[in-house]
Chain A
Amino acid sequence: MTEAIIEAEGVVKRFGKVGALAGLDLVACSGQVTAVLGPNGAGKTTFVRSVATLIRPDAGSLRVGGIDVNRHPEQVRQVIGLAGQYAAVEPTMTGRQNLHMVARLFAQSRQQAAASADAVLAQLDLTEVADRLVRTYSGGLRRRLDLGASLVGTPRLLLLDEPTTGLDPRSRNQLWEAIRSLVAQGTDVLLTTQYLDEADQLASQVAIIDHGRVIAHGTPAELKALAGSDMIEVRAHHAADLPALARAIAPIGSDQPRIDMGTSRITVPVATGQSAITAAVQALGGLDIDVDDIGLRRPTLDEVFLKLTGAPSQPGNNGKPERATERAGTP
């Protein structure tokens, strides 16, 4: 097994009577992205803030790169970079000035700080806007600069707390690209998100947490297997043909086909996805029925989430709007 970058054992944190973390166990390995997935109030942010030394857990043990967070927080701060839920950059300074300030606070000399600011600006494709005041940036640019600010210290572990909440799809993709290239270069990442597709896209390990503890942990594929098997889905051109289609496809399935008259669709669970799709195409080829679509569908993390937490995931922007100190474009 590879080296662990985060080791959490029975971490407990209470705020008054509210238990934010209730004995959370999690090991995040070096060299990959670990996503912490959960609904609002599950304890994601509390966990990240504990790792970032911003709050002290009440009980349990929490180590980052082998360093105890409670005993040596100042050493932990030397190896982490934090990008929180809000773009924590100063709107009345330029992008370059922001990065320079953070680099100076990372104990870099003026020359080092200038060089690392330049490098991060180039890395995140921000050079063009580097000398503009941040208050003129779009939301996506701010988030990218915020990510940059967490990078100027060359952290071993990058902590991203809901990094794309409130971003439009294009900015979101750009940020994902930036995160992927960081991982390719060897930075370890702990990411919290309430977007299942984000965990699916970026993470090699996913921990699903609810009520302050991990309720499932594994690769996205392993977690999807929890939700059930692969399905073959066939859409008929005429709803009247559905019973005939169902009869033809039934032998391939590991269970009875399900017919949905409303969407003219048949789904049948299969044991072996790859060979089953070939068999399904062959079985339908002999029939004289118009088929609009046929495909193999794997369960989504959505379904895992639903199954484990008993509640649908909330893809929306649930009362956590991005707050910026000033509106973009304010003169």
Chain B
Amino acid sequence: MTAVPIPANSDTGARPSAPAGRTAGVGATVSAVAVRTLRKYMHTPQLLVTTIVGGATFMILFRYIFGGALRFGTVPYVDFLIPGMVMTSVLITGTGSAVGVAEDSDQGFSDRLRSLPAPRIGLLAGRALGDTGVVAWGTAFTAALGFALGFRIHGTAGEALLAFGLCLACGFAFLWVFICIGLVSRNAQAAQGFSMLAYPVIFVSSAYVRVNTLPGWMQPVAEHQPITIMCNAVRSLALGNPALAGLGHTTTYWALLSLAWAAGITLVFAPLATTLYRRSP
């Protein structure tokens, strides 16, 4: 405690003590920013509500409108639908991150952070980590609502937990994309608008229907895009048997491929976000 740099309040008239000449560590930076992000959500309940309202509305509509008409594989539509809904909820929750990042740029908060001797990647990773906490909340809520609407897991509790963890890992990866969107748009409305691009990507996937029911020209895209892979993984884990959902590979295959996609997305968009952050005017 002897080296505490008391800011310029000595009455000797001497100049303030020389700065430490150090840069904040990545860990300290990440935790300081993540805590701020979480506090923002905790003290703004309306933010926590808006992150789930959209997803919940979708779920109720799909479950009751298509629940009677559709059946994929040998399971009821609700059991097919909810894993896809839970997985894609991370993209809907992630929209809030783009808006938050854009607001920080717009309102000078990013300027303050960027003028500090803290690593830029740490400042953004803190944001992504804090927002992952919010994604966890959104995922848990969506799953709970799914249960209330009649969804039941067919696999083990362990598999369900793995599915939850997989959603968080994929959510963390997609948050980097939303951070990039927020940095590019620089105001909340634009960020919200750009984030709407997530919807066609969600719909052209196996999230709500089997890919082989889509128009022929759409199928190759839908089949290989990451959201399909991730939905298949979560669905396999939830149903305990990929064959029940009409999936041609093992649960392990889908899970590992999902994690590879999540890692790939993070490796591309985290450095991109850092570059955008450094260069933002």
Contact = CB atoms under 8 A, between A and B. Distances in A.
B114 A152 contact: no
Interface in B201-245: none
B197 interface: no
B96 to A, nearest CB: 14
Interface in A59-80: 74, 77-80
A266 interface: no
B17 interface: yes
Contacts, number: 156
A88 B111 contact: yes
Contact of A107 (B4, B8, B24, B109): B24
A54 B109 CA distance: 12
Contacts of A105: 24, 28-29, 32-33, 113, 116-118, 123
Interface stretch (B36-44, B73-81, B144-152, B162-170): B36-44
**Interface residue tally of chain A, by bracket?**
35 or more
Contact of B9 (A81, A106, A122): A122
A80 B114 CA distance: 12
Given A77-B117, A88-B109, A187 B8 contact: yes
A186 B16 contact: yes
Interface residues of B, number: 49
B281 interface: yes
Contacts of B1: 111, 115
B12 to A, nearest CB: 9
A216 interface: no
A126 interface: no
A8 interface: no
Contact of B115 (A52, A182, A323): A52
Interface string A104-133: 111110011001100110110000000001
B35 A151 contact: no
A185 B108 contact: no
B36 A185 contact: no
Interface stretch (A35-43, A89-97, A220-228, A277-285): A89-97
Contacts of B106: 323
Contact of A86 (B14, B25, B28, B107): B107
Interface of B: 1, 3-10, 13-25, 28-29, 31-33, 35-36, 39-40, 42-44, 103, 106-109, 111-118, 123, 281
Interface of A: 15, 49, 52-55, 74, 77-82, 84-88, 90, 92-93, 97, 101-102, 104-108, 111-112, 115-116, 119-120, 122-123, 133, 135, 149-156, 159, 182, 184-187, 323-325
10 contacts: A88-B109, A97-B39, A102-B112, A102-B116, A106-B117, A107-B117, A112-B3, A116-B6, A123-B8, A325-B107
Given A119-B9, A122-B9, A155-B19, 5 more contacts: A49-B111, A80-B115, A88-B108, A93-B39, A325-B109
